[in-house]
Amino acid sequence: MIDLLKKFIESNWVIEKAVRELVERLPLRFRYGISYGPTFRHWLGFLKESEKWDRDRLEAYQLEHLRALLIYAGNNVPYYQSLFQEYGFMPEKVQSPKDIEVLPYLDRRTVQEKKQQLISANVPARALIPLYTSGTSGVPLVIYATKETEEKHWATIVDLWGRIGYTPKTKVVFFTANIRRGKKENLPWNKYGNTLVLSSNYFSDEWIDKYVELMASFEPEYLIGFPHTIAVFCSHMRNRSRNSISRSLKGVILYAENIYEWQIGIIRDVLGVRVLYDYGMVEKVIHAGSCEHSVAFHLYPQYGFTEYLSLNDSTYELVGTGFINYAMPLIRYKTGDLCSKARKVCAKCGRYYDTFTEIDGRMGDYLITADEHIVSVYLDTDFSVLEHIQRFQLYQDLPGRVELKIWPADLFHFGEARRILHEIKRSLGSNASKIRFDIILMDNMKSQTTGKYRMVDQRLNIRNFL
C-alpha cells in the first residue's frame, strides 16, 4: 500500500510538490520518519552531553560498546561466528581495544562477497534498509542498516553541522548531479520546503546567472555539496563577476571528497563565509568533521572505534569498527582512506576527540566534456543487480573521451556493462552527449598499495578547466 501511494505521489510533479510542502510544514518529530524519530532525538542529546567527557570516560565508553558489539556479532552474525571460532576469539573476554588485533582486517571485497553472511540473523528482513554505494572505488557495495541506524547517523550529521549554526529548520542549497521530480530526471533545479536543490550538470554561464537569482530570492543560510562542485560553481561566479549570493549566507558544508587549499581559496574568496568539512561513509564505521574553531577533522568516538594502520612514518590508513549498525556490523573495516598522525585532543575546542589535519583517498569524481565543461559523476543505482561485476572504472585523459573499464566476474553478461553505462549517462544528463564512451573488458585487477580503487581515473587537471 505504501509503495502504491509513493508511486501515485511521484506520478505527478504537482502532487509531489504539494506533499513535500505539506511535510515541510509539520513539526520535525512528524517529518521524515527515519530522520527525526525518538532515536534521533536521544542520540543528538547524547552527543551534546558526551562531547564534554574527558579522555578516560570516552575510552571507557568505547571499550564497553566495542565489547558489546563483538558479543552481539559472535551470537548473531554468521560471518563472525565462523571467524571467531576459527581464531579462538572470545569477545566476552575483551579487556582492551588492542585485543581485537588478533582478528583479520575486513576489506571492501570481502563485504561485497560475504554480504549475506554479514547480516545479523536477529534483525527481521523487513526491517533492513539497503544502502548502495560505489564510493570513489567503483566496487559496487550494498550495506544493510535499520531505522535506528539511520537516525543515529543523521543525528551525528546534524550535531556536526550544528557547529557552524545549522539546524534541521535551516534554509539550505544542496548541489547534486541528477535531480528528479516524479518520473522526470536531469532537471536543473528543484525546491521543497527549506531546501533548494541545484544540478551541477547545468553549470553554464546562463544557468549560473539563474542559480544566483534563485538563491538571492531563496535566501539560504548554507550551501552543501562536493568540494569540487562548489569550487567550480564559485569559479563560474568569479568569472561572471558575481561575488555574492545572499546576505543570509552563513557557511558552506563540504563532504565526500579530498578538500584542497585551492578549492577553499576560491570558495572563501567568492563567498566570504566559513567552511566546514564532513567526513563519513555509507559503511558507517567512522564519522568526523571540523569544529567551531578548527578545520582539523575530529573523529566521533561515540560513532565507532578507529585504528590507524601504519603505512610509513607519517601516513596511516583509517580502519573502523562501527557502533551504530548492528544489522550488518563491520569490524576492523579498512576504509582505504589515509590520514596523518592523530592528536588526542583539539586544543581549540577542547574536545578529547582524535584529530588530524587532512584525509587522503577520496578524489572528486568528475569528467571533462568535449566542450571542456566539468561535470560530476554520482551514481545512485541499485548496485545489487550488478552481481557479476567485480569492479568498474572510468578512465579519461582527453576531453570528451572516456573509457569504461569493466572487470567481470563469473556469469557476467554484456548487458550489465550496458546497464552501468546507462546509469552513468543518466547521472550526466544532457552532458552525456558531449562524451564518447568506449567499453573495455579487463582480465585482471590491480590497485594501489593501500587497496583503494578509484571509480574515476582522471588524468586531466580540473584547474585547467576552471
Torsion angle defined by CA atoms of residues 348, 354, 357 and 361, in that order, rounded to the nearest 10 degrees: -160
Q: Is residue 374 part of a domain?
A: yes
Q: Is residue 382 part of a domain?
A: yes
What cell does 383 get?
A: 548496485
pLDDT of 213-254, one tens digit each?
A: 999 999 999 999 988 889 889 888 887 776 677 789 999 999
| Average confidence (pLDDT) over 25-30 | 45
Q: Report the pLDDT value the prediction gives residue 315, as an integer from 0 to 100.
A: 87
> Between the CA of residue 25 and those of 6, 101, 154, what are the distances in Å?
19, 50, 20
pLDDT of 125-141, one tens digit each?
A: 999 999 987 655 556 78
- 88 Ramachandran zone, left/alpha/beta (phi>0; psi -120 to 50): left
Q: Report the pLDDT value the prediction gives residue 431, as an integer from 0 to 100.
A: 87
Q: Report the pLDDT value the prediction gives residue 225, as an integer from 0 to 100.
A: 92
pLDDT at residue 172 is higher than 90: yes
Q: Are strands 297-299 and 288-289 parallel, antiparallel or unpaired?
A: antiparallel
Note whether 216 and 245 are within 8 A (CB). Answer: yes
Query: What total of structural domains would you count in the chain?
Result: 1
pLDDT at residue 78 is higher than 90: yes
User: Which domain covers residue 411, as residue numbers?
Assistant: 366-465
| Average confidence (pLDDT) over 287-309 | 96
Q: Is residue 409 part of a domain?
A: yes
Q: pTM of the entire structure?
A: 0.79
Closest CA to 141 of 115, 123, 121: 115
Q: Report the pLDDT value the prediction gives residue 20, as an integer from 0 to 100.
A: 47
pLDDT at residue 385 is higher than 80: no
Q: Report the pLDDT value the prediction gives residue 29, as an integer from 0 to 100.
A: 46
Q: Is residue 398 part of a domain?
A: yes
Q: Report the pLDDT value the prediction gives residue 314, as an integer from 0 to 100.
A: 83
Q: Report the pLDDT value the prediction gives residue 363, as an integer from 0 to 100.
A: 54
What ranges in 93-204 are assigned the alpha helix state H? 108-113, 147-161
Alpha-carbon span 398 to 75, nearest angstrom: 53
Backbone angles phi, psi at 8, to 5 degrees: -65, -45
Q: Is residue 399 part of a domain?
A: yes
Note whether 19 and 26 are within 8 A (CB). Answer: no
What cell does 89 get?
A: 576469539
Closest CA to 458 of 368, 370, 392: 368
Q: Is residue 209 part of a domain?
A: no
Backbone angles phi, psi at 77, to 5 degrees: -110, 115
Note whether 323 and 148 are within 8 A (CB). Answer: no
Q: Is residue 62 part of a domain?
A: no
Alpha-carbon span 456 to 466, nearest angstrom: 19
Closest CA to 112 of 89, 84, 144, 82: 144
pLDDT at residue 71 is higher than 60: yes
pLDDT of 8-23, one tens digit each?
A: 444 444 444 444 444 4
Q: Report the pLDDT value the prediction gives residue 134, as an integer from 0 to 100.
A: 62
Q: What is the largest CA-CA distance in the chain?
A: 66
Triad 29, 33, 34: Cα angle to 5°? 115
Q: What is the DSSP letter of 301?
A: T
More confident residue, 282 or 443: 282
pLDDT of 405-463, one tens digit each?
A: 998 888 888 888 888 898 888 878 888 999 999 999 988 655 444 444 667 888 998 77
Q: Is residue 291 part of a domain?
A: no
Closest CA to 187 of 374, 437, 13: 13
Question: How many other β-carbons are positioned within 10 Å of the β-carbon of residue 48?
Answer: 12
Q: What is the mean pLDDT of the chain?
A: 86
Q: Report the pLDDT value the prediction gives residue 450, as an integer from 0 to 100.
A: 43
pLDDT of 348-371, one tens digit each?
A: 999 999 999 888 765 557 899 999
Triad 160, 166, 170: Cα angle to 5°? 145
Q: Report the pLDDT value the prediction gives residue 31, as an integer from 0 to 100.
A: 45
3-class DSSP string for 3-33: HHHHHHHHCCHHHHHHHHHHHHHCCHHHCCC
Quickly state the pLDDT bin for 464 (edges 50, 70, 90).
Answer: confident
Beta strands in 333-384 (DSSP E): 333-339, 355-356, 359-360, 366-368, 374-376
Q: How many residues does the chain have?
A: 466
Note whether 354 and 300 are within 8 A (CB). Answer: no
Backbone angles phi, psi at 213, to 5 degrees: -65, -40
